[in-house]
Amino acid sequence: MFFLPLMLGLILIFIFISFSKKTGLFVDVAEGDELKIHKGKKSLLGGLALFLSISLSLIFFELPIWGNKILAIFYSFSIVFLLGFYDDVKWKHASKSNPLLKFAFLIVCTLSPAIILSFSNIGFYFVPIHLPVIFIGFIFLFMVINSVNYQDGIDGLAGGLVWISLAALCILGWHLNNKFAFDLSLISLGAVSAFLVLNFPPAKIFMGDSGSYSLGFILTLLAMTFIRHFSWHGILGVAFIIGLPIFDGIYTNLRRLLSGKSIFIGDRDHFYDRMINRGFTVKKTLLISYLLQICAAIIGLSIIIYRIS
């Protein structure tokens, strides 16, 4: 379950990098966009490689066991991925971005998966009624996919942070004997590991919004399996396991709202940006961010396993 998505991911990533180089299609160019700091053209198909390697592995290993639930997950996953992929193709440059239309798309493409999952009995069932289950799932998915996306500002950061979260969730799935969560975490770990091989600085490929949204969906789905019923320990523990993306996402949105800015217009004032502005290299920023994420994941695991309040 780890090696199949790892091998699939590596093969797809090498194919996509070669394809983008030869055709000049699906590449990210920094020129004229102050939010982009990379040099040269980089393939934006890392998200497609993540989506395919996770989806194909999940269907291969789990379809015989979970049946219709896996199909509901795949449909929901596809909606979120396609939203990000459309963003990568149409709005990859700040000058072409349409914040209002993007907001509308985000609403529709996070509400739809919440509805599909809810009617497949997957969600945060804090109360046994579909409407609040759908609403809570929608809010959580909306928040997490954007939080992961915020971290995709320097090479290796978003993927590395999610890798640490997935490792912690894999441990949690094993400890709680949650087979599906363990399987999904392990499959996703393999896919993200393949991506990171060619995303560490200097990156050869980017995940784009399609990748960050896809990984945000996976984290949300795993959260649903661990905190299906209301529990402060579960909610707080999972929040810490997701870690820096959640905390920086909350801070970023509050900062933008209080300053009168749209939360959908990017800036260079995230946690990692401030570290780089203070003289830290990208690699030192990554190391510090990873260490903080590991600490947060350990706290999250401790809260859930030992019920620390």
What share of the chain in percent tops pLDDT 70?
Answer: 89
Residue 240 has pLDDT above 50, yes or no: yes
> Which residue range is the domain that position 107 belongs to?
65-190+207-305
Q: Which amino acid is at 203?
A: A
Residue 307 has pLDDT above 90, yes or no: no
Q: Tens of pLDDT along 243-289?
A: 999 998 888 888 877 777 766 666 667 788 888 888 889 899 999 99
Residue 86 lies in a domain: yes
Q: How many separate domains does the chain show?
A: 1
Residue 252 lies in a domain: yes
- pLDDT classification of 123: cutoffs 50, 70, 90: very high
What does the pLDDT average to over 125-144? 91
- pLDDT classification of 309: cutoffs 50, 70, 90: very low
- Give the total residue count for the chain: 309
Query: What pTM, to 2 d.p., does this model score?
Result: 0.92
* pLDDT on residue 201: 87
Q: Tens of pLDDT along 23-51?
A: 888 887 655 545 555 466 788 999 999 99
Residue 79 lies in a domain: yes
Instruction: Copy the structure tokens of residue 290.
Output: 């990873």
Average pLDDT over the chain reads 88
